[in-house]
Amino acid sequence: GESVGLHLPTLSVQEGDNSIINCAYSNSASDYFIWYKQESGKGPQFIIDIRSNMDKRQGQRVTVLLNKTVKHLSLQIAATQPGDSAVYFCAENIGSGGGADGLTFGKGTHLIIQP
């Protein structure tokens, strides 16, 4: 059967280096974006979010950048650690002013931290 990760882009970085994971979104009406981390066999875990009125938002060791002109989102992880190995998904929400519509997810990137 299929193995998880066969169809996912993979990014391999050395422990301690910085990593950048990219995501392109298609809907120019999207006004809210989230990055999730998913470890094998678990549900996605919220990392950081950003609203469309911002270009950059920082968390602990993570930074999200939003470029609305080219509809591009990136997640930067500083000083990567072995525990950062996971699949990372971006997600967008059109946010129709109070609606509860679910998120639209990207395909995911498999981040591998090399010792």
Partner 1 sequence: SQTIHQWPATLVQPVGSPLSLECTVEGTSNPNLYWYRQAAGRGLQLLFYSVGIGQISSEVPQNLSASRPQDRQFILSSKKLLLSDSGFYLCAWGAYSNQPQHFGDGTRLSIL
Q: Which residues bind partner 1 (CB under 8 A)?
A: 1-8, 31-32, 34, 36, 41-46, 49, 51, 89, 91, 93, 95-96, 98-108
Smallest CA-to-CA distance from 73 within 47, 92, 98, 87 is with: 92
Smallest gap, in angstroms, from Cβ of residue 33 to partner 1? 10
Q: Which is nearer to partner 1, 43 or 115 (CB)?
A: 43
Q: How far apart are CA 11 and CA 114, in angstroms?
A: 10
Q: Which is nearer to partner 1, 65 or 95 (CB)?
A: 95
Smallest CA-to-CA distance from 87 within 103, 105, 60 is with: 105
Q: Which is nearer to partner 1, 17 or 46 (CB)?
A: 46
Q: 86 — phi, psi (to 5°)?
A: 180, 180
